[in-house]
């Protein structure tokens, strides 16, 4: 297994690390607004809040049901594909799932900007090569949530993370262009939402 290294100190990843430390194991706030000190997009328009759609908890419930080892459907699916028209909130749903996983103190993997971030109770680790990304094939990652935006599918690390041997439970967001996601649906045996 490759050695995990801490992420670089660019502003976004320092903020992700701070988010991890500030919210790990703490109860989630009520309602659909999450008070965060993270800059993902211009916050002037949102007053510093991550705005969510009412469908996000439904997606989260489906994801949790499919990830549940006791679920009769678990053995058939290794992930979920969220697809719809551009600009509808698919990528925001991935951020929602990331925040809720952090609030629940769950390990989570984020494929972002051609790097793989493994977030655990011991910290945030960054992998930047396809060879290192094969760590997701290790049994320790069985059922761990892996968040992927397929519209950013530009690096070899995507193929490593989305391999048939991955032990993670992948939640992928994609535009509705079949050519963009069909290979991953077949390869990973994921269900579409």
DSSP per position, 20-41: HHHHTTPPPPSSSEEE----SS
Q: What is the pLDDT of residues 18-75, one digit of tens each?
A: 555 555 444 444 443 444 444 444 545 666 666 677 788 888 888 888 887 776 554 5
Tell me the residue range of the domain where 140 lies: 15-192
Q: What is the pLDDT of residue 4?
A: 41
Q: Which residue in the block uniquely carries the two structure tokens 């968040």?
A: 147
| Residue 7 located in a structural domain | no
| Residue 50 located in a structural domain | yes
- Identify the burial level of 118 via C-beta atoms within 10 angstroms of its C-beta, where 0-12 means exposed, 13-18 middle and 19 or more buried: buried
| Residue 22 located in a structural domain | yes
Write the CATH number for 142: 3.40.50
Is the per-residue pLDDT at 147 higher than 90? Answer: yes
Mean of all residue pLDDT scores within the chain: 70
| Residue 3 located in a structural domain | no
- For 45, residues 6+ apart whose C-beta sits below 8 A from its C-beta are none
**In terms of pLDDT, which residue wins out, 131 or 37?**
131
| Residue 1 located in a structural domain | no
| Residue 78 located in a structural domain | yes
**In terms of pLDDT, which residue wins out, 167 or 188?**
167
| Residue 9 located in a structural domain | no
Q: What is the pLDDT of residue 2?
A: 39
Query: What pTM value is reported for the model?
Result: 0.67
In the chain, the number of structural domains is: 1
| Residue 173 located in a structural domain | yes
Q: What is the pLDDT of residue 101?
A: 92
**In terms of pLDDT, which residue wins out, 106 or 27?**
106
């Amino acid at each position: 297994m490759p050695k995990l290294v801490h992420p670089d100190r660019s502003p976004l990843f320092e903020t992700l690390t701070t988010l991890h430390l500030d919210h790990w194991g703490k109860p989630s706030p009520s309602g659909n607004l999450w008070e965060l000190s993270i800059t993902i997009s211009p916050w002037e328009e949102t007053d510093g809040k991550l705005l969510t759609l009412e469908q996000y908890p439904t997606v989260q419930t489906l994801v949790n049901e499919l990830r549940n080892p006791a679920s009769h459907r678990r053995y058939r699916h290794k992930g979920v594909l969220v697809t719809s028209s551009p600009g509808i909130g698919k990528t925001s749903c991935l951020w929602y799932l990331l925040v809720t996983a952090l609030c629940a103190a769950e390990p989570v993997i984020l494929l972002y900007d051609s790097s793989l971030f493994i977030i655990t109770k011991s910290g945030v680790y960054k992998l930047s090569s396809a060879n290192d990304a094969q760590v997701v094939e290790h049994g320790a990652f069985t059922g761990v949530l892996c968040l992927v935006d397929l519209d950013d599918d530009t690096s070899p690390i995507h193929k490593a993370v989305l391999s048939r041997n991955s032990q993670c439970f992948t939640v992928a967001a994609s535009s509705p262009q079949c050519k963009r996601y069909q290979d991953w649906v077949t390869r990973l045996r994921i269900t579409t939402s």
